[in-house]
Amino acid sequence: MKKIGILDVGEPTFCNQPQYDETVEIIYEVISKNEPPLSTIGYLCRQWLREKTIVGYFFGAFDTTYLETPQLVTREECIKMIQYKTCDGN
């Protein structure tokens, strides 16, 4: 066994007393050039057709491709989607 040093388990004295008594109040002003994000209350109507194609090969490998095609939405379809919370029966 080799003695390396002594371990002091008492509280350090520099943490018990503040180093200074004067406090200085500083007021910061934040200036930002960024405009607040655009916020609006409303609905955005969008429909798309998602297709998933899986092709199998002779040795057991599969290749999966995805295709998403946007669909045109009329005003009447948009209102119907808002009222019933459904899109083309889904």
pLDDT at 8: 64
Q: In this predicted model, what pLDDT tens digit does every residue of 4-23 receive, in sequence order?
A: 666 666 666 655 565 666 66
Sequence-distant (6+) residues with CB within 8 A of 82 are 43, 45
Q: What are the tens digits of pLDDT across the range 52-90? A: 999 998 888 999 999 999 988 888 888 888 888 877 677
Measure the CA–CA gap between 22 and 34, rounded to whole angstroms: 37
Sign for the CA dihedral angle at 13, 16, 20, 25 comes to positive
Residues near 42 by beta carbon (within 8 Å), at least 6 away in sequence: none
Which of these, 33, 49, 37, 39, lies nearest to 87 by C-alpha position?
A: 49
Q: Does the pLDDT of residue 35 top 70, yes or no?
A: yes
Q: What are the residue boundaries of the structural domains of the chain, listed by start?
A: 44-90
Quote the pTM value: 0.36
